[in-house]
C-alpha cells in the first residue's frame, strides 16, 4: 500500500486515503495505524531474506548440485526454495552418464537448465525439453533448425480462446529465449527475428481476446442497467473526439453524422446500445447540422472516395454524393444515409446549403463553361453561335476542330466575334476555351464528366505540365492533345500550329521554327505528328505544306450521337 501511494503521489502533494470496490457496502477501510505507518514510512524490519550460493563448483555435475545447495553461515540468509533450474538439474543428473559430466560441459548443462519454464509445466515436463536441448548443444553442437522451425510454425496460430493463446505465447517465449543464445543455433539472428514476429502476433491476438472479454462484461452491466431503468434514464454524452457514452460507459463513436457502436460489443447488445444512443443523439446531430447550414463555403470540401466517386464532405466525412443531373453543369446531390437521422426540415436546409456550395464551386471554376451553356439557349444569338456553344458546353469546353468543320465554315464574321467574347478559341487543331485549361477547371470538368458518365474520377496530370509521357487517357484529354506517344497541352499545340500557318501564309523561304516545341519537351516523333496534323510534311530539313486531309466520314446514322442532334439547332 505504501508503494502504491508513493507511485501515485511522488511526494509532491498531500493526498487522502480511500477504498474502491471492496465489498457491496464499500468494504473495509484503512485503520488509523495503517495510515500512520504509510504516512511516516514505518514498517517492521525484515527478519530474513532468501539466498543461494553464487560461487559454483563445476568439477562435475554432482559437485555443482552440492555448491547450489550450500547454506550460508549468516542466520539472516535462509536457503531459498528450490528453484526450477535446480529441480531440473537434479532430475537430469539421475542419469549416471550426465552426472559424470565435468568442466565446460557441466557449465553448459547448467546454462541449459537456466531455460525459464514459461509454460509452467513443472520440473518433470520441463526437464524433458532441457534434456533434449542439452543432447544437441552439450558437446558444442547446434539445435537442428528443422526441429526448431517445426515447433515455431506449430505455435504460429492466432486462433482459439484466451487459454490457448496464452499457452502458445508461453511456448514461443521459450523458443525466443533459445534463439537469443548465440551458441545454440547456427543462425541465431534469423530465428530471433522469426520468434519475435510470432510472439508479437500472439501477443496482439491475446490482447484482443482479453479486451473482448472486458468489453463483453462492461456491455453486459450497461445493458442490464438500461433494461432496469430504461434507455432514457441514462445520460448520453459526446466527447470532443466523438466518443459517445451512455452513463459512465463508452459505447461507440460519432463521426460526422454517422454513429457506430463499438465493434467489440456482441451483436445482441449492439441493437439495444444503438437504440439507446440514437434516441438521445438527436440534439447533437441537430446542433451539427445547424452549424453547417450557417457556415461559410470554406467548411465544406470536395472528397473523392476510394472507388473514385466525387462527394461533398465535412472534416473528411461524406455528406452527399454527386449524381447525374439535368445537364453537365447541374449535377444532382444524393445525401448520405447518415443524414436520415435529422428531422425532415433540418435535412432539407442542409441539402439546400450543400447544393449552394456546389453551385458556387461550379461558378467559380467553370464560369466560362456556364457562359457557353447560357449562349446555347440565348435566342438573341445566331443559330451558328448557339449550335457551336451547345456542342462545346456539352463536351466540357474542348473539341477537335475536325468535329466542327461544317459548323465553323457556316459562321459569319459577327458569329466569330461573339464566340471570341465568350472566350472561345477557334484554333487550327482544337476549339477550346483557354480559361478551362487551368488545373482547378480541369479538376471540376473531370468531376462533372465522371458524374454524368457514371465513371470513376480519372487521374489528372500534374498542374502546369506542358507535355506528358504517360497519362490516364480520360484525365489527359481534358487539356492535352495526343501526339504519338506524348501529350502536348492544347494551348501550346495551338500556338505551334498557328505559328506554322503564319509562316506558310507569309510565303518566302522562312522555315517553321520548332524551338518552342523542343523547349516544352516534345520529341521528334511528337513534332512530326503535330506538323502532320497541321498539314505539313517533312522535305529534307524543312517542312512543306501539303494541305489538310479531309475529315474522316462518320458512317453512323444521322442523329446517332449528341453532337448531330445539337447541330440541328444551326439548321
Number of H helices, E strands in the chain: 23, 18
Beta strand 430-432 pairing with 398-400: antiparallel
Closest CA to 134 of 85, 82, 190, 200: 85
Pair 407, 401: CB distance under 8 Å: no
pLDDT at residue 558, as a whole number:
38
Q: In sequence order, what are the beta bridge partners of 467?
A: 488
* DSSP conformational letter for 314: E
pLDDT at residue 559, as a whole number:
40
* DSSP conformational letter for 403: G
pLDDT at residue 116, as a whole number:
93
- Transcribe 113-161 into DSSP letters: HTS--TT---HHHHHHHHHHHHHHHTTT----HHHHHHHHHHH----S-
Q: Walk along the chain (571 residues) and give the pLDDT tens digit of each residue.
A: 777 777 666 656 666 766 665 444 445 677 888 888 888 888 888 889 999 999 999 999 999 999 999 999 998 999 989 999 999 999 999 999 999 999 999 999 999 999 999 888 889 999 999 999 999 998 888 999 999 999 999 999 998 888 888 889 999 999 999 999 988 999 999 999 999 999 999 999 888 877 766 555 555 555 555 444 444 455 677 887 888 776 666 777 888 888 887 766 555 556 666 666 666 678 888 989 999 999 999 999 999 998 889 999 999 999 999 999 988 999 999 999 889 888 889 999 999 999 999 999 999 999 999 999 999 999 999 999 999 999 999 999 999 999 999 999 999 999 999 999 999 999 999 999 999 999 999 999 999 999 999 999 999 998 888 899 888 889 999 999 999 889 999 999 998 888 888 877 766 555 666 777 788 788 888 888 888 888 887 776 667 777 655 555 444 443 444 544 544 554 4
DSSP 3-state percent helix, strand, coil across the chain (nearest 5): 50, 15, 35
Inter-CA distances, 405 with 243, 376, 412, 426, Å: 63, 18, 14, 11
pLDDT at residue 230, as a whole number:
45
pLDDT at residue 414, as a whole number:
94
Inter-CA distances, 515 with 137, 179, 290, 489, Å: 77, 67, 59, 16
pLDDT at residue 556, as a whole number:
40
Give buried/exposed letters for 321-333 (b at 16+ CB in 10 A, else e).
Answer: bbeeeeebbebeb
Inter-CA distances, 37 with 18, 29, 140, 229, Å: 15, 15, 56, 44
pLDDT at residue 441, as a whole number:
94
The three grid cell numbers given for residue 298, joined into one nine-digit string:
470554406
Amino acid at each position: 500500500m505504501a508503494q502504491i501511494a508513493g507511485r501515485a503521489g511522488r511526494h509532491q502533494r498531500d493526498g487522502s486515503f480511500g477504498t474502491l470496490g471492496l465489498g457491496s457496502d464499500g468494504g473495509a477501510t484503512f485503520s488509523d495505524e495503517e495510515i500512520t505507518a504509510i504516512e511516516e514510512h514505518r514498517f517492521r524490519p525484515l527478519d530474513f531474506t532468501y539466498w543461494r550460493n553464487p560461487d559454483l563448483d563445476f568439477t562435475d555435475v554432482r559437485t555443482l548440485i552440492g555448491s547450489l545447495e550450500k547454506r550460508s553461515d549468516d542466520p539472516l540468509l535462509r536457503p531459498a526454495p528450490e528453484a526450477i533450474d535446480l529441480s531440473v538439474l537434479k532430475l537430469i543428473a539421475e542419469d549416471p552418464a550426465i552426472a559424470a559430466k565435468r568442466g565446460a560441459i557441466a557449465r553448459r548443462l547448467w546454462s541449459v537448465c537456466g531455460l525459464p519454464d514459461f509454460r509452467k509445466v513443472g520440473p518433470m515436463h520441463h526437464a524433458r525439453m532441457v534434456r533434449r536441448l542439452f543432447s544437441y548443444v552439450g558437446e558444442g553442437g547446434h539445435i537442428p533448425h528443422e526441429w526448431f522451425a517445426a515447433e515455431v510454425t506449430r505455435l504460429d496460430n492466432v486462433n482459439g480462446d484466451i487459454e490457448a493463446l496464452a499457452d502458445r505465447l508461453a511456448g514461443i517465449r521459450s523458443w525466443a529465449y533459445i534463439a537469443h543464445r548465440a551458441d545454440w543455433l547456427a543462425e541465431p539472428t534469423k530465428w530471433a527475428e522469426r520468434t519475435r514476429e510470432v510472439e508479437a502476433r500472439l501477443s496482439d491476438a491475446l490482447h484482443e481476446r482479453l479486451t473482448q472479454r472486458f468489453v463483453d462484461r462492461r456491455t453486459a452491466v450497461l445493458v442490464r442497467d438500461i433494461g432496469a431503468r430504461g434507455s432514457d434514464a441514462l445520460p448520453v454524452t459526446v466527447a470532443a473526439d466523438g466518443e459517445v457514452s451512455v452513463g459512465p460507459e463508452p459505447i461507440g463513436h460519432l463521426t460526422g453524422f454517422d454513429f457506430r457502436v463499438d465493434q467489440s460489443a456482441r451483436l445482441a447488445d449492439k441493437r439495444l446500445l444503438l437504440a439507446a444512443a440514437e434516441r438521445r443523439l438527436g440534439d447533437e446531430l441537430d446542433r451539427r447540422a445547424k452549424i453547417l447550414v450557417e457556415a461559410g463555403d470554406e467548411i465544406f470540401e470536395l472528397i473523392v472516395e476510394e472507388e473514385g466517386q466525387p462527394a461533398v464532405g465535412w472534416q473528411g466525412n461524406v455528406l452527399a454524393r454527386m449524381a447525374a443531373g439535368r445537364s453537365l453543369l447541374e449535377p444532382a446531390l444524393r445525401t448520405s444515409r447518415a443524414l436520415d437521422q435529422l428531422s425532415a426540415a433540418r435535412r432539407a436546409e442542409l441539402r439546400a446549403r450543400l447544393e449552394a456550395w456546389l453551385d458556387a464551386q461550379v461558378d467559380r471554376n467553370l464560369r466560362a463553361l456556364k457562359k457557353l451553356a447560357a449562349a446555347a439557349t440565348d435566342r438573341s444569338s445566331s443559330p451558328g453561335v448557339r449550335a457551336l456553344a451547345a456542342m462545346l458546353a456539352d463536351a466540357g469546353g474542348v473539341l477537335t476542330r475536325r468535329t466542327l468543320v461544317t459548323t465553323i465554315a457556316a459562321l459569319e464574321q459577327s458569329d466569330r466575334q461573339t464566340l471570341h467574347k465568350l472566350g472561345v478559341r477557334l484554333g487550327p487543331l482544337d476549339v477550346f476555351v483557354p480559361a478551362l485549361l487551368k488545373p482547378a477547371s480541369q479538376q471540376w470538368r473531370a468531376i462533372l464528366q465522371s458524374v454524368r458518365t457514371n465513371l470513376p474520377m480519372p487521374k489528372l496530370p500534374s498542374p502546369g505540365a506542358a507535355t506528358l509521357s504517360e497519362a490516364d487517357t480520360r484525365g489527359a484529354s481534358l487539356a492535352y492533345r495526343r501526339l504519338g506517344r506524348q501529350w502536348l497541352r492544347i494551348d501550346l499545340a495551338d500556338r505551334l500550329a498557328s505559328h506554322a500557318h503564319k509562316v506558310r501564309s507569309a510565303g518566302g523561304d522562312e522555315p517553321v521554327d520548332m524551338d518552342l516545341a523542343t523547349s516544352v519537351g516534345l520529341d521528334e516523333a511528337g513534332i512530326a505528328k503535330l506538323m502532320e496534323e497541321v498539314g505539313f510534311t517533312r522535305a529534307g530539313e524543312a517542312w512543306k505544306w501539303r494541305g489538310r486531309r479531309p475529315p474522316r466520314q462518320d458512317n453512323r446514322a444521322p442523329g446517332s450521337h449528341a453532337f448531330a442532334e445539337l447541330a440541328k439547332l444551326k439548321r
